[in-house]
Amino acid sequence: MIKKGSEILIDAILDEGIDTIFAYPGASIIPILDYMYDKKDVLTHYLTADEQGATHAADGYARSTGNVGTVLVSSGPGSTNAVTAIATAYFDSIPLVVFTGQVQNQNIGSDSFQECDIVSITMPITKYSHQVKDVEELQLEVRKAYRIATSGRPGPVVIDLPKDIQLSKAETISFEEIKAIDDARPKNIHTSFNYRAVEVFAEYINKAERPLILAGGGIIASDTSDILRELTIKGDIPVVNSLMGQGIMDSNSRLSLGHVGMHGHKRSNYAMRNCDLLITLGARFSDRVTAEIEEFAKNAKIIQVDIDHSEIDKIIEINYSLHADLRDFMPNLLEAVEERDRSGWIDYINENLEFNDEYTEEWTPRNIIKAIKHSVGKDSFIATDVGQHQMWVSQFYGFDNPRQFVTSGGFGTMGFGLGAAIGTQIANPEKRVVLVTGDGSFRMNMNELVTVTKYKLPIVIIILNNGVLGMVRQWQTLFQEERYYATELTDDVDFIKLADAFNIEGRTVSTIKDLEQSMKDAFDSKKAMVINALIDKKAMVFPIIPAGGSYEDAIVSSGR
């Protein structure tokens, strides 16, 4: 069948099973939008406040479901507005396909109106970035884009579409035929999984007296959290997780030690210092996890499994590694590991390190986060921005399910939270979604409140408002002799009036009781609410490992 490029694109997207797209219009994608009009019964479009919000929303959609997120933006500033959000997805291995409009081929290179070489800009922050030169290749490029975004280590893909390509015509074939052509092409995905490697891993684990698992986002991406939980019980092996690995373990498990690294739990970091074997599963050794490399897990042998070969031996010297898909590896490792009782090791970790899940009425960040969990229920989603509030949530919330924590890890993107919460709520309409943010982060993309209102999304937004850029100010307090500069937010944004401008109820709270009541009222009403929670600007995140320091150098209180 002969179709225009715009029709080929949308029909190919539908062939991939996509039913939701986050798009912001522009002149360079009008032909695509025109055909979307004919497909609005099968392809739901969400219009956000801008392109960054659209791409963050697609990211939240993908993180919370494991499905690929789809974005359509215009050329020039439309495409560059999406760049920060694309980078955010790239650093956390989130599958996105972003289609960008472009000026006509004949105008490329002439500094045409809203022309931008988005392919070159995004090449370092995507798995694949490509400009379609011929309408004949478009159908196959869409198939390739979704396959690349979701295979191996997931990540974002950018496909750039000159306007004349959208208007040109080409013969199309069935999805089965196009998939067969793509499947026949050579792929750059090769893993070295073999049963002997599983036996070697099991030997390391079975001989260890103080083993520790470091679990990262790869466990969640591979949907192997349940197998990991079985493995930990069988081998009686404690688990620490990276920020991206929150929710892999039930927080109430005696084997779940929580978040590790720069702002990790005391007992997590304690276990890392004292283990004799570190089993790294789907986690990269970021500087936020390792701190000083020479001192990292210095008493342990380190073994690692990762689907991305470039992550193996990249930062930390590994004793034994395997380039493999955890979907293949984990069931076999579970079978090979011996049943053990390592209660002595668990008791050693927890000695003098009480982990109290209770909370009081005292108005502190810890109690605020505990009260939020108490109010929302076990199966809700928590999104955050980046800053002190993010670390408090990671430390104190106690996640119980994978994909429950929607946050920017590797890129640390302030302004991520509201867009991501929107995408999460759209993908999970029956679940509660709460955004915990800071006043600094929230101001970066608070324009997306219009999207919350437009689609009647019942997101509860809790702003931990301390009137400062808290994490930077904390560093100025601890390491710069309290020389505060450019961190005081003295303009006093009235978040209640702001919420009212978007027809959203807003409340200011400063007690646990009022916070819990406000959340209850919001959930009962099934409407959005902005809760302005006033906190002390002197509150800090502890522990904190100083720059260049090791786990031994962690500061655990303002008194050091």
| Average pLDDT score over residue span 309-333 | 93
Exposed e or buried b per residue across 150-183, where buried means at least 16 C-beta atoms within 10 angstroms of its C-beta: bebbbbbbbbbbbbbbbebebebeebeebeeebe
Q: Taking a C-beta distance cutoff of 8 angstroms, is the pair 126, 86 a contact?
A: yes
Q: pLDDT tens-digit profile of 414-454?
A: 999 999 999 999 999 999 999 999 999 999 999 999 999 99
The DSSP line for 175-190 is: HHHHHHHHHHS--S--
- pLDDT for position 560: 53
**Is residue 455 assigned to a domain?**
yes
Q: Taking a C-beta distance cutoff of 8 angstroms, is the pair 529, 249 a contact?
A: no
Q: pLDDT tens-digit profile of 71-98?
A: 999 999 999 999 999 999 999 999 999 9
Place of tokens 């969640």: 220
Q: Is a pLDDT exceeding 60 seen at residue 199?
A: yes
Mean pLDDT of all residues in the chain? 94
Q: How far, in Å, CA of 227 to CA of 402, rounded?
A: 13
Pair (108, 177) in one structural domain: yes
Q: How far, in Å, CA of 62 to CA of 98, rounded?
A: 13
Number of domains making up the chain: 3
**Is residue 424 assigned to a domain?**
yes
Distances from the Cα of 343 to the Cα of 202, 252, 526, 560, angstroms? 19, 16, 45, 32
Pair (305, 380) in one structural domain: no
Pair (59, 113) in one structural domain: yes
Q: pLDDT tens-digit profile of 363-413?
A: 999 999 999 999 998 889 999 999 999 999 999 999 999 999 999 999 999
**Is residue 244 assigned to a domain?**
yes
Q: pLDDT tens-digit profile of 208-251?
A: 999 999 999 999 999 999 999 999 999 999 999 999 999 999 99
Q: Is a pLDDT exceeding 70 seen at residue 355?
A: no
- pLDDT for position 188: 64
- pLDDT for position 105: 82
Six-digit token string for 350: 């927890």
Percent of the chain residues topping a pLDDT of 90: 84
SS3 state at 535: coil
* Domain finish residue from 322, 350, 378: 350
Pair (253, 371) in one structural domain: no
Backbone angles phi, psi at 512, to 5 degrees: -60, -40
**Is residue 558 assigned to a domain?**
no
More reliable by pLDDT, 560 or 122: 122
Q: pLDDT tens-digit profile of 531-554?
A: 999 999 999 999 998 888 888 888
Pair (344, 236) in one structural domain: yes
More reliable by pLDDT, 165 or 187: 165
Q: Taking a C-beta distance cutoff of 8 angstroms, is the pair 239, 264 a contact?
A: no
| Average pLDDT score over residue span 501-530 | 98
Place 470 in a pLDDT band, splitting at 50, 70 and 90: very high
- pLDDT for position 553: 85
**Is residue 531 assigned to a domain?**
yes
Q: Which of 285, 463, 444, 486 minimizes the C-alpha distance to 388?
A: 463
Pair (371, 233) in one structural domain: no
**Is residue 355 assigned to a domain?**
no
Distance from first CA to last CA of the chain, Å, rounded?
71
**Is residue 400 assigned to a domain?**
yes
CA angle in degrees (0–180, nearest 5) for 201-207-208:
90
Mind telling me the catalytic residues?
A: 51, 113-114, 163, 471
Q: Taking a C-beta distance cutoff of 8 angstroms, is the pair 210, 345 a contact?
A: yes
Can you give the three-state secondary structure of 444-505, one letter per residue? CCHHHHHHHHHCCCCCEEEEEECCECHHHHHHHHHHCCCCCCCCECCCCCCHHHHHHHCCCE
- pLDDT for position 119: 98
The DSSP line for 349-387 is: HHTT--------SS--HHHHHHHHHHHH-TT-EEEE-SS
Q: Does residue 543 have a cis peptide bond before it, meaning omega lies within 30 degrees of 0? A: yes
Place 180 in a pLDDT band, splitting at 50, 70 and 90: very high
- pLDDT for position 552: 84
- pLDDT for position 307: 94
- The pTM (predicted TM-score) of the whole model is 0.95
Q: Is a pLDDT exceeding 80 seen at residue 359?
A: no
Q: pLDDT tens-digit profile of 125-160?
A: 999 999 999 999 999 999 999 999 999 999 999 999
Six-digit token string for 129: 């970035």
The DSSP line for 69-115 is: EEEEE-STHHHHTTHHHHHHHHHTT--EEEEEEE--GGGTTTT-TT-
* Domain finish residue from 184, 211, 236: 184
Place 111 in a pLDDT band, splitting at 50, 70 and 90: confident
CATH number at residue 423: 3.40.50.970
Structural domain harbouring 317: 195-350
Pair (158, 246) in one structural domain: no
Sequence-ordered list of residues with C-beta below 8 angstroms from that of 176, at least 6 positions apart, any chain: none
Q: Taking a C-beta distance cutoff of 8 angstroms, is the pair 76, 59 a contact?
A: no
| Average pLDDT score over residue span 52-70 | 99
Pair (337, 385) in one structural domain: no
- pLDDT for position 205: 98
| Average pLDDT score over residue span 489-493 | 81
Q: Which of 438, 494, 478, 429 minimizes the C-alpha distance to 458?
A: 429
Pair (380, 522) in one structural domain: yes
| Average pLDDT score over residue span 498-517 | 98
Q: pLDDT tens-digit profile of 400-423?
A: 999 999 999 999 999 999 999 999
